[in-house]
Protein backbone atom coordinates (compact mmCIF):
# COMPACT_ATOMS: atom_id res chain seq x y z
CA UNK A 1 0.00 0.00 0.00
CA UNK A 2 1.18 3.50 -0.81
CA UNK A 3 0.19 6.84 0.72
CA UNK A 4 -0.70 10.02 -1.15
CA UNK A 5 -1.85 13.58 -0.67
CA UNK A 6 -4.44 14.87 -3.14
CA UNK A 7 -5.18 18.56 -3.42
CA UNK A 8 -8.57 20.00 -4.21
CA UNK A 9 -10.19 23.41 -4.24
CA UNK A 10 -12.92 23.00 -1.60
CA UNK A 11 -15.28 25.29 -3.54
CA UNK A 12 -15.06 22.88 -6.50
CA UNK A 13 -15.00 19.56 -4.65
CA UNK A 14 -14.53 19.20 -0.89
CA UNK A 15 -14.07 16.29 1.46
CA UNK A 16 -17.67 16.88 2.55
CA UNK A 17 -18.72 16.35 -1.08
CA UNK A 18 -16.83 13.05 -1.11
CA UNK A 19 -18.53 11.98 2.11
CA UNK A 20 -21.93 12.96 0.72
CA UNK A 21 -21.40 11.21 -2.64
CA UNK A 22 -19.79 8.09 -1.17
CA UNK A 23 -17.28 7.93 -4.04
CA UNK A 24 -15.88 10.03 -6.86
CA UNK A 25 -13.71 9.97 -9.94
CA UNK A 26 -10.55 11.95 -9.08
CA UNK A 27 -10.05 13.93 -12.27
CA UNK A 28 -8.70 17.26 -13.44
CA UNK A 29 -5.01 16.39 -13.03
CA UNK A 30 -2.90 17.68 -15.93
CA UNK A 31 0.65 18.14 -14.57
CA UNK A 32 2.99 15.47 -15.98
CA UNK A 33 4.54 14.56 -12.60
CA UNK A 34 1.16 14.48 -10.86
CA UNK A 35 -0.17 12.21 -13.64
CA UNK A 36 2.88 9.96 -13.22
CA UNK A 37 1.99 9.61 -9.53
CA UNK A 38 -1.67 8.90 -10.38
CA UNK A 39 -0.58 6.13 -12.78
CA UNK A 40 1.24 4.34 -9.95
CA UNK A 41 -1.77 4.24 -7.61
CA UNK A 42 -3.35 0.90 -6.86
CA UNK A 43 -6.54 -0.30 -5.22
CA UNK A 44 -6.25 0.05 -1.44
CA UNK A 45 -3.80 2.97 -1.46
CA UNK A 46 -4.76 5.71 1.00
CA UNK A 47 -4.81 9.44 0.29
CA UNK A 48 -5.01 12.51 2.46
CA UNK A 49 -7.44 15.06 1.02
CA UNK A 50 -5.95 18.55 1.21
CA UNK A 51 -8.09 21.65 0.75
CA UNK A 52 -6.18 24.36 -1.10
CA UNK A 53 -7.02 28.05 -1.44
CA UNK A 54 -7.81 29.89 1.75
CA UNK A 55 -8.05 26.71 3.86
CA UNK A 56 -4.66 25.06 3.17
CA UNK A 57 -5.22 22.06 5.39
CA UNK A 58 -5.63 18.30 5.33
CA UNK A 59 -9.23 17.37 6.04
CA UNK A 60 -9.65 13.62 5.68
CA UNK A 61 -8.53 10.24 4.38
CA UNK A 62 -9.79 8.52 1.21
CA UNK A 63 -9.11 5.11 -0.32
CA UNK A 64 -8.26 4.42 -3.95
CA UNK A 65 -10.88 1.96 -5.23
CA UNK A 66 -9.78 1.50 -8.85
CA UNK A 67 -6.69 1.11 -10.93
CA UNK A 68 -5.86 4.27 -12.93
CA UNK A 69 -7.78 4.53 -16.20
CA UNK A 70 -8.10 7.11 -19.00
CA UNK A 71 -10.42 9.99 -18.12
CA UNK A 72 -13.69 9.05 -19.86
CA UNK A 73 -14.54 12.74 -20.33
CA UNK A 74 -11.37 13.48 -22.29
CA UNK A 75 -9.97 12.17 -25.56
CA UNK A 76 -6.45 11.83 -24.17
CA UNK A 77 -5.11 8.48 -22.93
CA UNK A 78 -2.37 10.29 -20.97
CA UNK A 79 -4.92 11.99 -18.70
CA UNK A 80 -5.80 9.32 -16.14
CA UNK A 81 -8.16 9.24 -13.18
CA UNK A 82 -8.78 6.98 -10.19
CA UNK A 83 -11.89 6.29 -8.16
CA UNK A 84 -11.93 7.25 -4.47
CA UNK A 85 -14.16 6.66 -1.48
CA UNK A 86 -14.04 8.42 1.88
CA UNK A 87 -12.48 6.61 4.83
CA UNK A 88 -12.62 9.13 7.66
CA UNK A 89 -12.51 12.80 8.43
CA UNK A 90 -9.48 13.71 10.55
CA UNK A 91 -10.27 14.50 14.21
CA UNK A 92 -8.65 17.91 13.65
CA UNK A 93 -7.56 19.31 10.27
CA UNK A 94 -3.78 19.63 9.84
CA UNK A 95 -2.84 23.05 8.48
CA UNK A 96 -0.02 23.88 6.12
CA UNK A 97 1.34 26.18 8.84
CA UNK A 98 1.57 23.22 11.26
CA UNK A 99 3.39 21.15 8.64
CA UNK A 100 5.84 23.96 7.87
CA UNK A 101 6.67 24.35 11.59
CA UNK A 102 7.52 20.65 11.98
CA UNK A 103 11.14 19.91 11.01
CA UNK A 104 10.31 16.28 10.21
CA UNK A 105 8.65 17.53 7.00
CA UNK A 106 11.77 19.25 5.59
CA UNK A 107 11.89 16.78 2.67
CA UNK A 108 8.10 16.50 2.17
CA UNK A 109 7.07 17.12 -1.45
CA UNK A 110 4.08 19.17 -0.28
CA UNK A 111 6.62 21.78 0.82
CA UNK A 112 9.27 21.15 -1.83
CA UNK A 113 6.85 21.12 -4.80
CA UNK A 114 3.94 23.24 -3.53
CA UNK A 115 2.10 23.44 -6.87
CA UNK A 116 1.94 19.66 -7.34
CA UNK A 117 -1.62 18.33 -6.93
CA UNK A 118 -0.72 14.64 -6.33
CA UNK A 119 2.04 14.14 -3.77
CA UNK A 120 3.50 10.86 -2.49
CA UNK A 121 3.60 10.59 1.30
CA UNK A 122 6.18 8.44 3.09
CA UNK A 123 4.99 6.15 5.85
CA UNK A 124 6.78 8.27 8.47
CA UNK A 125 5.17 11.48 7.16
CA UNK A 126 1.77 9.73 7.04
CA UNK A 127 2.06 8.64 10.67
CA UNK A 128 3.22 12.10 11.78
CA UNK A 129 0.34 13.81 9.95
CA UNK A 130 -2.16 11.50 11.64
CA UNK A 131 -0.52 12.30 15.01
CA UNK A 132 -0.88 16.02 14.34
CA UNK A 133 -4.58 15.51 13.56
CA UNK A 134 -5.11 14.21 17.09
CA UNK A 135 -3.61 17.23 18.87
Whether the predicted pLDDT of 135 surpasses 90: no
> What is the set of domains in the chain, with CATH numbers?
3-133 (3.10.590.10)
**pLDDT for residue 12:** 96
Exposure on the CB side of residue 121, measured as CA atoms within 13 A = 26
When pLDDT is averaged across residues 41-58 and rounded to a whole number, the result is 98
**pLDDT for residue 109:** 95
Whether the predicted pLDDT of 120 surpasses 90: yes
pLDDT digit string, tens, across residues 65-114: 999 999 999 989 899 999 999 999 999 999 999 999 999 999 999 999 99
**Alpha carbons 110 and 100: distance in angstroms, whole number:** 10
48 neighbors 2 (Cβ within 8 angstroms): no
**pLDDT for residue 35:** 97
**Alpha carbons 19 and 89: distance in angstroms, whole number:** 9
Rg of the chain over Cα atoms, rounded to whole angstroms, equals 14
pLDDT digit string, tens, across residues 62-75: 999 999 999 999 98
When pLDDT is averaged across residues 19-48 and rounded to a whole number, the result is 97
When pLDDT is averaged across residues 32-60 and rounded to a whole number, the result is 97
Strands of the chain, DSSP E: 3-8, 24-26, 46-51, 57-64, 69-70, 80-95, 118-121
DSSP, collapsed to helix, strand or coil, labels residue 17 as helix
pLDDT band of 10, cuts 50, 70, 90: very high
Amino acid sequence: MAYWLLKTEPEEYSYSDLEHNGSTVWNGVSNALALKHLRTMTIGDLALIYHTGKERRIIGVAEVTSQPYPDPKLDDVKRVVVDLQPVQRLPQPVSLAQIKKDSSFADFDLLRLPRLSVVPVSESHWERLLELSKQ
